Structure 1
Amino acid sequence: MPAVAARPLPTLFLAGIAMLAFAGNSVLCRLALVNTGIDAASFTVLRIVSGAIVLWLLVGLRKRARPASGNWAGALALTLYAAAFSFAYIQLDTGTGALLLFGAVQLSMLAFGLVRGERLSTAATAGLVLATVGVLVLLLPGSTAPPLGSALIMLLSGLAWGAYSLLGRGAVDPLAETADNFLRSIPLVLLLALPFVGQIRWDATGALYAILSGAITSGLGYAIWYSALRGLGAMQAASLQLSVPILAAIAGVLLLSEPLSVRMLIAAVAVIGGLAIVLKARASKIRT
């Protein structure tokens, strides 16, 4: 398999922009919940609605007809991901949340493969164990541990996104399917927000962050990513996503003055390093 560096510059540029967008979702959500008056439920609703609008506009601009390709299972997984993501970030730092989310997504997809009969090499197994230990290190009690409830909610968000990714495997038109699922998610996310009607609050800045998260870092971000994927192999795409928690953590430090604890650094090295070992081992297996 060719190395990522061998890919054409436009592909790498698009992939880099997409990774910044994915990290931007964590940054915008945390900024909104910490620095503005918006609540998590309102943020989620605005994100889903604005994302649906932009994705449908992008699909509509294409000069070819397409059948509706979303499904309610995908919409439910998307809704659970987005809602849990927002509520978890009420208390989690940007980098911690992104690491938990990313770790849960990748580990859940690896677990699915194991259940389906995939066999990992010794190196891949060691990497999987290392990544799992990294997540556990982050959750262990202590003065620098993230709030356990919020951490578990973010893990749920990651599991939901992993399920969404698995449900969308083999999609003929991933952008159209994502647009359909965002549209189907609107009534679901409104229903999910009903118990929080009495707590709804927002301001113009918070609403702007939510709309940017839906329209730009979600809607446009997914469109750019799907364009980049045409020039990337599966393992290369997965490897590039290793950068997202790092980018989110750096942004959290620069924009929100969040600290980087020794626990967070150890967990990040273990999770990202372990997953990198798994991806490298699986790529080597495919080549042979």
Structure 2
Amino acid sequence: MALFLLTALTMLAFAANSILNRMALVGGDIDALWFALVRLVAGAVTLAVLALATRGRLRIGGKGRAVGVVALLVYIYGFSIAYVSLDAGVGALILFGVVQITMFAGALIGGERPPARRLAGAGIAFAGLVWLLWPAAGPVVSPLHGALMAAAGFGWGVYSLTGRGETDPLQATAANFLLAVPFAVIIALLTPVAPDAVPATNRGVILAVLSGAVTSGLGYALWYSILPRLQASVAAVAQLTVPVIALAGGLVFLAEVPTLDFVLAAALVLGGVALSVLRLRR
């Protein structure tokens, strides 16, 4: 039960992170590249302070560190830039669809053989996600931004698979963020300023700091702490709940009225996840 609650809390953090990102970018409060930079810096500072306070030191190195840093950068920048153009629902569908495919592929390559019930549950959950997020009119998706969101999904899937081998989740997450910051600074300095660039507002910076320090830094540290106890396929399916939670948050915080399609599709997603990850009594 404790593992289930921690996993649910982590999914809530991921959904909240998505909402913060959308609020900042869609509201025109900050540029996507600067949002990513502030997010990384805030997460790095928070995690470094926690690591020093609880461990007395920072351990930067470790097996798979380079892969984790690159995957984190690909995810954060792909996610932020893609949402400048993509519809939020379509972006979430691309992101978590690719995450699921990446993590299931990693599970198979690593020798894991998910049972038929888990595969069936994953298929049901993904079908519900398609139903929930795919607009009936058929959106016009920018190939560039669609590819960036797919890259973000691949990056997050690889980042999650890498975290399954970490023995100290807090140190590992702090190291990933700290090592990613210099690259983010270089990207920000070398990227030409667009004529229509959006100046950062106080609101945009605050949202980026919250995203980095709380829902990213602390959320990712928690995710790394529970990943070793989850099979890769289970972790992949669990993340399919994030778009549903994010949309539910939009209903609550934006006063949107839920539709029958939302209720039925959400039930399908959550039912598929339950079938996939919960043990059935004989």
Summarize the Cα distance change of 1:270–1:89 in structure 2 as closer, same or farther, 3 Å threshold. farther
1:102 partner amino acid: F
Query: Match for residue 113 of structure 1?
Result: 107
Summarize the Cα distance change of 1:223–1:115 in structure 2 as closer, same or farther, 3 Å threshold. closer
**SS of residue in 1 equivalent to 2:80:** helix
| CA contact 1:127–1:278 (8 Å) conserved in 2 | yes
User: Could you tell me how far apart the structure 1 residues matched to 2:205 and 2:241 are?
Assistant: 27
Query: Match for residue 160 of structure 1?
Result: 155
Query: Match for residue 121 of structure 2?
Result: 127
The equivalences for 1:1-288 within 5 A come to 4=1, 7=2, 12=5, 16-65=8-57, 67-70=59-62, 71-94=65-88, 96-131=90-125, 143-145=137-139, 147-149=141-143, 150-193=145-188, 194-198=190-194, 199=197, 201-225=199-223, 229=226, 233-234=229-230, 238=235, 241-256=239-254, 273-280=271-278
User: Could you tell me how far apart the structure 1 residues matched to 2:223 and 2:114 are?
Assistant: 28
| CA contact 1:47–1:210 (8 Å) conserved in 2 | yes
**SS of residue in 2 equivalent to 1:147:** coil
- Where structure 2 has 5 or more consecutive residues not aligned to the other structure, the ranges are none
- Where structure 1 has 5 or more consecutive residues not aligned to the other structure, the ranges are none
Summarize the Cα distance change of 1:254–1:92 in structure 2 as closer, same or farther, 3 Å threshold. farther
User: Could you tell me how far apart the structure 1 residues matched to 2:147 and 2:129 are?
Assistant: 11
User: Could you tell me how far apart the structure 1 residues matched to 2:102 and 2:229 are?
Assistant: 20
User: Could you tell me how far apart the structure 1 residues matched to 2:94 and 2:263 are?
Assistant: 13
The answer to which of 260-269 and 213-222 deviates more is 260-269
Summarize the Cα distance change of 1:205–1:66 in structure 2 as closer, same or farther, 3 Å threshold. closer
1:157 partner amino acid: A
Q: Deviation at 1:65?
A: 4.2
TM-score scaled by structure 1?
A: 0.76
Q: Deviation at 1:169?
A: 2.1
Q: Deviation at 1:54?
A: 0.6
